[in-house]
């Protein structure tokens, strides 16, 4: 009798939450199995803003990776001491540097030199020079999280004149969820004093894991060579007090100057694959971090993770602009031209469902790069080859460390 | 300005006269009074106002001296639209979209009557209207996210890696401003955090990427009426309707989908206004209740909308959308069938009031010589 009533109620379209509860309360086995077989579920109650998806990150789970492009790191490390001294630091020495590195006392650190790089990756075709030395640091790290800041950057000050702890901010960004599926107009809803706004679907308020945190730069912004050449005196004074999730499927230029990421999940997406023919040591003469960032965004989107951008700021000093922007135009221009193809390519990448790890995703992307871009420029076919080699290298090095 | 950056249409730093003085209408819905206009006088007085009086039409709403305005109450709306007036909400600020419809201007700024002039971190009064105008007159960049936010702002630019072919941007259709003090939270959040105030001034304007939806708040909003006005229908809310406080949300989702389809941009961020009045969260909960559940289906619906290529005007996009609403959301609740019909009625009314009588076929948008305003 009861079972018939359930069915009748269902067909009449009158099975509400209340009535469902009444039927289930009868305890009648037939009813319960019918409900189960039809997969009738309770309506989810709206989830109030909570910090459910937050993770806790301990200091010993973090590596700070610094690339030494010049031997004297004393003032850099002293300036950052209050912020980084409690972390393990990996310093990668640019292979071209002859002199010994000068590093002040009191830092728990490990140095990797050209011969280490040779030992670890010499058998591959991947080269590490200039800023791209950082990738060796990412590779050998045994921590879950990596934070990397260029050695010509200093701690910034916020609008109140307080020193910005960029490391703590990156950690906070990685700890709290990202919200890539719907834009929150008050930016990061997990920050104190903010929340999800009216109209934000409740089912999306738990967010997803944040795997990449992209910081910004005061003073010298990360501009390309043409922009630097046209605006040599422009300085970024605008402190935008926001962290926001870059929405799913939106592509962005990730700068390697000031980033942090979940190495365990995303490590394989960061590698020096995209090398310009006459790449120099200035940031504006390279695009490999931009390439990695596009990979990382595609991979993150596919795996259902989030990417944040905004705070923290670092102060990028004038030494980052050593060199002649006009002179670099020739080298920088190549990268600028190639971006015209690179960005639409990444916007169109669709990864197969079977790719469930970053390694698998990178492998798939490498195949697509080879197929779709390989013909147009040797840079692309080399990048594809480097990606595949990197994935293999990553697996090898990480299994050795395990 | 360097040609390499394609900076077009930036408002001059020292304007000779208020920018867009004769091309912009300020639309204000009100049921109480317009006292708030006194504070806005220095910024609003040069502009024409369209007041949409909600509620009892026999009540007289006093407009402060010195403002040039037209005022419409419910009787006017019924008179002008006839049977089509059914698409305009009653006892809800959604009625403001009637103001968009009767405006003859290219740009609209709409603001709530409990929104006041905010101060920036230096203590200076914020001219919200001027900032909106700047946002509307400079391009948007929906195809690739710029990490330094709006690249057309003074002191900013496109960052390394941003393709040059995308640096021209696209025309900006919507400028969505924010609020200091009382933030725009829904009822559950208001109940959990009744004392929270937004004190964070985020000095950024940014383009919402293509393919991403957002919750559009109508409290402090400007748009290019020529480009997107016909899609700014604020739905059926208030009296006789099962839902409230989703008018601007609905318009925002429709507009974003259409903007994405037509290659137009939507910006959010500055300017801030000071939102003074916190509405009653229990009243709000009643109004929003159904919306909170329905939006779980509405969002996936909008996320999956694919408009056909031959929808090349806002009206055609909107009519196509109304068909999809009827088909896909109709099964959730009969309200959506009514809403889909109202969307059609809105477009019919819009075209009637906005197309010259000589050409019945509605083009993208054209100014209408008909529709005399009811001046009081």
B chain contacts of residue A336, beta-carbon cutoff 8 Å: 164
- The reported pLDDT for the residue numbered B339 is 97
Q: Categorize the per-residue pLDDT at A357 as very low, low, confident or very high, splitting at 50, 70 and 90.
A: very high
What φ, ψ does residue A135 adopt, rounded to 5°? -65, -30
Nearest CA in chain A to B247: A199
Best of B1, B7, B160 to substitute, by most chain A Cβ atoms within 10 angstroms, is B160
pLDDT at A332 over 80: no
Q: Categorize the per-residue pLDDT at A49 as very low, low, confident or very high, splitting at 50, 70 and 90.
A: very low
| Residue A63 β-bridge partners | A88, A146
CA distance A103 to chain B (A): 31
Report the b/e string of A312-322 with b at 16+ CB within 10 A: bbbbbbeebbe
Arithmetic mean of pLDDT, B107-122? 96
End-to-end CA distance of chain A: 61
Is the Cβ of A197 closer than 8 Å to some Cβ of chain B?
yes
Number of Cβ within a 10 Å radius of residue A95: 18
Is the Cβ of B217 closer than 8 Å to some Cβ of chain A?
yes
pLDDT at A309 over 80: yes
Residue B167 lies in a domain: yes
- The reported pLDDT for the residue numbered B5 is 40
Q: Which of B147, B156, B192 sits opposite A309 (nearest CB)?
A: B147
pLDDT at B374 over 50: no
Of A324 and B94, the one with more pLDDT: B94
**Distance in angstroms (rounded) separating the CA atoms of residues B214 and B235:** 17
- The reported pLDDT for the residue numbered A50 is 44
A chain contacts of residue B121, beta-carbon cutoff 8 Å: 159
Of A15-19, A273-277, B339-343, give the lowest mean pLDDT range: A15-19
Is the Cβ of A249 closer than 8 Å to some Cβ of chain B?
yes
> Is the sign of the CA dihedral A120, A123, A126, A128 positive or negative?
positive
Burial of B265 (0-12, 13-18, 19+ CB in 10 A): buried
CA distance A338 to chain B (A): 9
pLDDT at B10 over 90: no
| Residue A315 β-bridge partners | A154, A218
Contact A251 B145 (CB under 8 A): yes
Q: Categorize the per-residue pLDDT at A18 as very low, low, confident or very high, splitting at 50, 70 and 90.
A: low
Is the ipTM higher than 0.85? The answer is: yes
Residue B13 lies in a domain: no
Q: Which of A49, A183, A253 sits opposite B208 (nearest CB)?
A: A183
- The reported pLDDT for the residue numbered A95 is 92
The residue count for chain A: 402
Contact A198 B210 (CB under 8 A): no
**Distance in angstroms (rounded) separating the CA atoms of residues B86 and B4:** 51
**Distance in angstroms (rounded) separating the CA atoms of residues B292 and B187:** 10
Arithmetic mean of pLDDT, B186-207? 94
Structural domain including B265 reads 24-354
- The reported pLDDT for the residue numbered B150 is 96
**Which 3-state string (H, E, C) describes chain B?**
CCHHHCCCCCCCCCCCCCCCCCCEEEEEEECCCCCCHHHHHHHHCCCEEEEEECCCCCCCCCCCCCCEEEEECHHHHHHHHHHHHHHCCECCHHHHHHHHHHCCCCEEEEECCCEEECECCCCCECCHHHHHHHHHHCCECCCCCCCCCCCCCCCCCCCCCCCHHHCCCECEEEEEEEEEECCCCCHHHHHHCCCCCECCCCCCEEECCCCCCCCCCCCEEEEEHHHHHHHCCCCCCECCCCCCCCHHHHHHHHHHHHHHHHCCEEEEEEEEEEECCCCCHHHHHHHHHHHHHHHHHHHHHHHHCCCCCCCCCHHHHHHHHHHHHHHHHCCCCHHHHHHHHHHHHHHHHHHHHHCCCCCCCCCCCCCCCCCCCCCC
Q: Categorize the per-residue pLDDT at B359 as very low, low, confident or very high, splitting at 50, 70 and 90.
A: very low
Arithmetic mean of pLDDT, A284-301? 92
Nearest CA in chain A to B196: A193
Kindly state the helix (H) or strand (E) to which residue A83 belongs, with its residue range. Answer: helix A74-84
Task: Give the contacts of A252 (CB within 8 A, at least 6 positions apart).
Answer: A214, A246, A293, A297, A307, A309, B144, B145, B146, B147
pLDDT at B251 over 90: yes
CA distance B298 to chain A (A): 9
Residue B265 lies in a domain: yes
Contact B192 A201 (CB under 8 A): no
Task: Give the DSSP letter of residue A301.
Answer: H
B chain contacts of residue A230, beta-carbon cutoff 8 Å: 2, 4-5
Residues A327/A284, Cβ–Cβ less than 8 Å: no
CA distance A334 to chain B (A): 12
**Distance in angstroms (rounded) separating the CA atoms of residues A260 and A214:** 7
Q: Categorize the per-residue pLDDT at B6 as very low, low, confident or very high, splitting at 50, 70 and 90.
A: very low
Contact B186 A197 (CB under 8 A): yes
The pLDDT tens digits of the residues spanning A103-117 come to 999 999 999 999 999
Is the Cβ of B353 closer than 8 Å to some Cβ of chain A?
no
- The reported pLDDT for the residue numbered A386 is 92
Is the Cβ of B292 closer than 8 Å to some Cβ of chain A?
yes
Token representation of residue B104: 């003859």
Token representation of residue A304: 């259902």
A chain contacts of residue B271, beta-carbon cutoff 8 Å: none
The pLDDT tens digits of the residues spanning A189-229 come to 999 999 999 999 999 999 999 999 999 999 999 998 889 88
Residue B359 lies in a domain: no
pLDDT at A252 over 80: yes
Of A391-400, B147-156, B180-189, give the lowest mean pLDDT range: A391-400
CA distance A119 to chain B (A): 32
- Count up the domains in chain B and report the number: 1
Residue B375 lies in a domain: no
Token representation of residue A213: 């945190």
Task: Give the contacts of A6 (CB within 8 A, at least 6 positions apart).
Answer: A15, A23, A31, A34, A35
Is the Cβ of B246 closer than 8 Å to some Cβ of chain A?
yes
Is the Cβ of A47 closer than 8 Å to some Cβ of chain B?
no
Of B376 and A348, the one with more pLDDT: A348
> Is the sign of the CA dihedral A239, A133, A265, A107 positive or negative?
negative
Contact B198 A193 (CB under 8 A): yes
- The reported pLDDT for the residue numbered B148 is 97
Q: Categorize the per-residue pLDDT at B152 as very low, low, confident or very high, splitting at 50, 70 and 90.
A: very high
* Closest listed residue to residue A184, CA positions, set B233, B184, B296: B184
CA distance B112 to chain A (A): 16
Q: How much of chain B exceeds pLDDT 90, in percent? A: 84
* Closest listed residue to residue B228, CA positions, set B107, B362, B47, B354: B107
The pLDDT tens digits of the residues spanning B285-308 come to 989 989 999 999 999 999 999 999
Nearest CA in chain A to B268: A185
Helices (H), A110-154: 114-121, 134-140
End-to-end CA distance of chain B: 46
Contact A234 B165 (CB under 8 A): no
Name the most confidently modeled range: A19-33, A80-94, A122-136: A80-94
**Which 3-state string (H, E, C) describes B284-297?**
HHHHHHHHHHHHHH
Residue B154 lies in a domain: yes
CATH code of the domain covering residue B296: 3.90.550
116-175 of B, contacting A, C-beta below 8 A: 121, 143-149, 155-166
**Distance in angstroms (rounded) separating the CA atoms of residues A157 and B33:** 45
pLDDT at B187 over 60: yes
Residues A67/A129, Cβ–Cβ less than 8 Å: no
| Residue A210 β-bridge partners | A306
Residue B163 lies in a domain: yes
Q: Which of B2, B178, B210 sits opposite A230 (nearest CB)?
A: B2
Domains of chain A from N-terminus onward:
3-37 (no CATH), 59-401 (3.90.550)
Task: Give the DSSP letter of residue A16.
Answer: -
- The reported pLDDT for the residue numbered A40 is 62
- The reported pLDDT for the residue numbered A129 is 87
Q: Which of A43, A241, A247 sits opposite B200 (nearest CB)?
A: A241
Residue B19 lies in a domain: no
Of A51-60, B19-28, B294-303, give the lowest mean pLDDT range: A51-60
Task: Give the DSSP letter of residue A372.
Answer: I
Of A217-231, A265-279, A344-358, give the lowest mean pLDDT range: A265-279
pLDDT at B370 over 50: no
A chain contacts of residue B198, beta-carbon cutoff 8 Å: 186, 193-194
Contact B183 A242 (CB under 8 A): no
How far out from the chain centre does Cα B99 lie?
11
pLDDT at A17 over 70: no
- The reported pLDDT for the residue numbered A14 is 65
Is the Cβ of A221 closer than 8 Å to some Cβ of chain B?
yes
Of B147 and A57, the one with more pLDDT: B147
Q: Categorize the per-residue pLDDT at B357 as very low, low, confident or very high, splitting at 50, 70 and 90.
A: low
**Distance in angstroms (rounded) separating the CA atoms of residues B109 and B225:** 10
Q: Categorize the per-residue pLDDT at B356 as very low, low, confident or very high, splitting at 50, 70 and 90.
A: confident
CA distances from B209 to A31, A182, A197, A329, B257 (A): 48, 11, 18, 30, 11
| Mean pLDDT of the residues in chain A | 88
Number of Cβ within a 10 Å radius of residue B102: 25
Contact B211 A249 (CB under 8 A): yes
The residue count for chain B: 376
Contact A202 B217 (CB under 8 A): no
Nearest CA in chain B to A291: B161
Q: Which of A195, A227, A231 sits opposite B196 (nearest CB)?
A: A195
- The reported pLDDT for the residue numbered B26 is 98
CA distance B165 to chain A (A): 7
Residues B127/B153, Cβ–Cβ less than 8 Å: no
- The reported pLDDT for the residue numbered B12 is 52
- The reported pLDDT for the residue numbered B309 is 95
The pLDDT tens digits of the residues spanning B53-73 come to 999 999 999 999 999 999 999
Residues A214/A282, Cβ–Cβ less than 8 Å: no
B chain contacts of residue A293, beta-carbon cutoff 8 Å: 161
What φ, ψ does residue A271 adopt, rounded to 5°? -160, 155
Contact B186 A198 (CB under 8 A): yes
pLDDT at B4 over 50: no
Arithmetic mean of pLDDT, B77-102? 95
Of A74 and A280, the one with more pLDDT: A74
Residues B170/B263, Cβ–Cβ less than 8 Å: yes
Best of B3, B143, B147 to substitute, by most chain A Cβ atoms within 10 angstroms, is B147
Q: Indicate the angle between helix axes A17-25 and A29-37, nearest 10 degrees.
A: 140
């Amino acid at each position: 009798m009861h079972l018939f009533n359930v069915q009748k109620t269902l067909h009449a379209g009158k099975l509400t939450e209340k009535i469902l509860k009444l039927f289930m309360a009868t305890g009648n086995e037939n009813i319960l199995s019918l409900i189960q077989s039809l997969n009738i579920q309770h309506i989810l109650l709206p989830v109030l803003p909570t910090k459910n998806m937050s993770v806790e990150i301990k200091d010993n789970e973090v590596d700070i990776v610094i690339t030494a492009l010049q031997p004297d790191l004393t003032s850099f490390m002293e300036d950052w001491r209050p912020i980084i001294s409690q972390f393990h630091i990996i310093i990668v020495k640019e292979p071209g540097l002859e002199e010994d590195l000068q590093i002040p006392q009191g830092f728990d650190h490990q140095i990797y030199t050209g011969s280490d790089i040779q030992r670890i990756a010499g058998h591959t075709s991947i080269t590490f020079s200039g800023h791209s030395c950082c990738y060796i640091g990412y590779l050998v790290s045994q921590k879950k999280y990596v934070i990397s800041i260029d050695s010509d950057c200093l701690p910034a000050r916020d609008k109140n004149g307080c020193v910005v702890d960029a490391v703590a901010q990156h950690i906070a960004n990685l700890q709290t969820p990202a919200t890539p599926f719907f834009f929150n107009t008050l930016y990061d809803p997990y920050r104190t004093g903010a929340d999800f706004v009216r109209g934000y679907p409740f089912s999306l308020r738990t967010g997803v894991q944040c795997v990449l945190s992209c910081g910004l730069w005061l003073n010298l912004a990360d501009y390309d060579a043409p922009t630097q050449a046209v605006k040599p005196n422009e300085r970024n004074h605008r402190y935008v007090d926001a962290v926001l999730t870059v929405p799913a499927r939106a592509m962005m230029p990730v700068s390697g100057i000031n980033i942090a990421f979940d190495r365990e999940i995303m490590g394989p997406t960061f590698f020096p694959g995209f090398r310009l023919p006459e790449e120099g040591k200035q940031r504006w003469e390279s695009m490999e971090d931009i390439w990695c960032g596009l990979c990382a965004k595609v991979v993150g989107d596919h795996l259902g993770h989030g990417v944040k951008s905004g705070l923290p700021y670092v102060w990028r000093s004038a030494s980052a602009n050593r060199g002649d922007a006009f002179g670099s135009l020739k080298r920088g221009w190549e990268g600028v031209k190639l971006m015209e193809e690179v960005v639409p390519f990444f916007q169109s990448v669709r990864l197969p469902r079977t790719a469930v790890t970053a390694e698998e995703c990178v492998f798939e992307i490498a195949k697509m790069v080879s197929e779709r871009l390989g013909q147009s420029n040797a840079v692309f076919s080399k990048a594809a080859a480097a990606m595949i080699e990197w994935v293999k290298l990553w697996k090898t090095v990480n299994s050795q460390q395990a | 300005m360097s040609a390499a950056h394609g900076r077009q249409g930036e408002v001059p730093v020292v304007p000779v006269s208020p920018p867009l003085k004769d091309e912009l209408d300020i639309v204000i819905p009100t049921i109480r009074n317009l006292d708030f206009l006194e504070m806005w006088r220095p910024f609003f007085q040069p502009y024409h106002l369209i007041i949409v009086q909600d509620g009892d039409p026999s009540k007289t709403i006093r407009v402060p001296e010195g403002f040039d305005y037209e005022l419409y109450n419910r009787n006017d709306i019924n008179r002008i639209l006839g049977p089509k007036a059914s698409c305009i909400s009653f006892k809800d600020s959604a009625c403001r979209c009637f103001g968009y419809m009767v405006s003859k201007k290219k740009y609209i700024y709409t603001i709530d009557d409990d929104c006041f002039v905010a101060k920036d971190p230096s203590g200076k009064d914020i001219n919200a209207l001027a900032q909106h105008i700047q946002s509307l007159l400079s391009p948007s960049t929906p195809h690739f996210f710029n990490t330094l936010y709006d690249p057309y702002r003074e002191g900013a630019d496109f960052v390394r890696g941003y393709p040059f072919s995308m640096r021209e941007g696209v025309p900006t259709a919507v400028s969505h401003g924010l609020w200091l003090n009382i933030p725009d939270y829904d009822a559950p959040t208001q109940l959990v955090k009744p004392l929270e105030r937004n004190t964070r001034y985020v000095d950024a304007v940014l383009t919402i990427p293509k393919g991403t939806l957002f919750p559009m708040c109508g409290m402090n909003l400007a748009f290019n009426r020529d480009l997107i006005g016909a899609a700014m229908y604020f739905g059926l809310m208030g009296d006789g309707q099962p839902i409230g406080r989703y008018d601007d949300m609905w318009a925002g989702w429709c507009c974003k989908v259409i903007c994405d389809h037509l290659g137009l941009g939507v910006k959010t961020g500055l300017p801030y206004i000071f939102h003074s009045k916190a509405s009653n969260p229990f009243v709000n909960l009643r109004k929003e209740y159904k919306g909170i559940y329905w939006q779980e289906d509405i969002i996936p619906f909008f996320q999956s909308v694919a408009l056909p290529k031959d929808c090349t005007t806002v009206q055609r996009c909107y009519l196509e959308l109304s068909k999809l609403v009827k088909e896909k959301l109709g099964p959730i609740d009969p309200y959506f069938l009514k809403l889909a019909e109202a969307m059609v009625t809105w477009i019919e009314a819009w075209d009637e009031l906005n197309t010259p009588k000589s050409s019945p076929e509605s083009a993208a948008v054209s100014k209408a010589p008909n529709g005399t305003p009811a001046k009081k």
